Amino acid sequence: MTKPAVALAFLVAVAPGCKRSTSRPARDAGPPPSDAAPVHRALETAVIGDIAIKLAEPTAFQADISQRDLAAAAGAVLSRSRAFAASQAEVPAGRTGVPARVTLTVTYDRVDAPTGRSIVCAVEAAIDWQAGSERIAPHANVLAEKALLPADQKRAPRIAVEMIQQSVVEAAGELVMKEELRQGEDPAVLTGLGSNDPDVVLWSLELVADRKLKGGFDRALALLKDKDAGVRTAALRALVALKDPRAVGPLAKMANFSNPEELRMVVEAVSAIGGDEAAEFLEYVATGHSDPDLRNRAREGLERIGRHPRSAPEPK
């Protein structure tokens, strides 16, 4: 199997937070938490000056891909939303136009596996804000895989083009969803935390962290137990951004002391949140864990929150 094919196969197998091409629309999770204070945000429209297409070279075959057609397909999806416009003149009244660029990175190849051949494609889409904007930037990842039957070997290039076109449309649609949610008021973001779509949950967690929405604390804490590793990581980031000391106790209880990597993440999170309970946990790790690196990290965490770690003998 070639390197690009291996990479694509790996993405299809394990990538968290990536939308499969066959995914179903998410259902609404009901009303937002009652403690969400309404925040009226200024409406914006992303003025897309360019849609750039980046194609990774495959190794098994070459598909006849029109970058212009892909850009046009993405642009058609974006233009259906008031959150996007092709020029400042098209920005709806009452909205502020913000210059931006959309980049679509397309990778495709044939994957040869023991179970048979397949075509795999991946589309990464991202909005790049221009003029030094510090706005959080929506991004999307779409993966698609199709079995390649013996009778379809010669049609592989055409099949790849169709898969890529569909994936580009879905990636553009995900950008629309995320940009509209970014522009939405806080209750809409908090509602997204309860979505059945992992992509919506991940983006909502990013927005909770970006806005430091205290109303997202309980849901972010609960999402630490989500089956999706990407969601768990995003929930941890949101809790760190909120810096609510109430998160320290649950984090300490779920810390796996036999898994250095997981414990390292908890130590870093607790160090960033701070507080008396954080100091107790870090002191325990700094003086009692057998891993020297983890002990040092815990001691550094204590210093960051203004505590002085006690000296302790090296664990036997």
Tell me the pLDDT tens digit for each residue of 267-296: 999 999 999 999 999 999 998 888 888 899
CA distance 44 to 138: 14
- Mean pLDDT, residues 139-165: 95
Architecture of the 3-30+42-183 domain: 2-Layer Sandwich (3.30)
Tokens 């002191």 — which residue? Answer: 283
Confidence of residue 29 (pLDDT cuts 50, 70, 90): very low
- Topology (CATH level 3) of domain 191-304: Leucine-rich Repeat Variant (1.25.10)
Burial 198-221 (b: 16+ CB within 10 A, else e): bbbbbbbbbbbbebebebbbebbb
Q: In the chain, which residues fall in CATH 3.30.160?
A: 3-30+42-183
At residue 124, does pLDDT exceed 80? yes
Model pLDDT, residue 91: 94
Residue type present at position 22: T
Q: Enter the tokens of residue 217.
A: 């604390």
**Cβ–Cβ under 8 Å, residues 221 and 191:** no
Paired sense of beta strands 96-113 and 139-147, if any: unpaired
Is 14 buried (19+), middle (13-18) or exposed (0-12) by CB count in 10 A? exposed
pLDDT surpasses 60 at 33: no
Which has more confidence, 255 or 48?
48
Q: What is the pTM of this model?
A: 0.80
pLDDT at 18 over 80: no
Identify the burial level of 18 via C-beta atoms within 10 angstroms of its C-beta, where 0-12 means exposed, 13-18 middle and 19 or more buried: buried
Q: Are 44 and 96 in contact (CB under 8 A)?
A: yes
Note the pLDDT of residue 260.
86
Q: Place 312 in a pLDDT band, splitting at 50, 70 and 90.
A: low
pLDDT at 25 over 60: no
- SS3 letters for 255-292? CCCCCHHHHHHHHHHHHHHCCHHHHHHHHHHHHHCCCH
User: Residue 28 — very low, low, confident or very high, per pLDDT cuts 50/70/90?
Assistant: very low
Per-residue model confidence (pLDDT) at position 195: 96
Could you report the per-residue pLDDT of 54-84, keeping only the tens digit for each? Answer: 999 999 999 999 999 999 999 999 999 999 9
Three-state DSSP string of 172-187: HHHHHHHHHHHHCCHH
What residues does CATH 1.25.10.10 cover in the chain? Answer: 191-304
Indicate the pLDDT class of residue 39, thresholds 50, 70 and 90. low
In the prediction, which pLDDT does 42 show?
81
Q: Say if residue 254's pLDDT is above 80.
A: yes
C-alpha distance from residue 207 to each of 189, 210, 214, 218 (Å): 7, 5, 12, 15
Q: Which of 70-84, 117-131, 236-250, 253-267 has the lowest mean pLDDT?
A: 253-267
Please state the φ and ψ torsions of residue 65, each to the nearest 5 degrees.
-105, 125
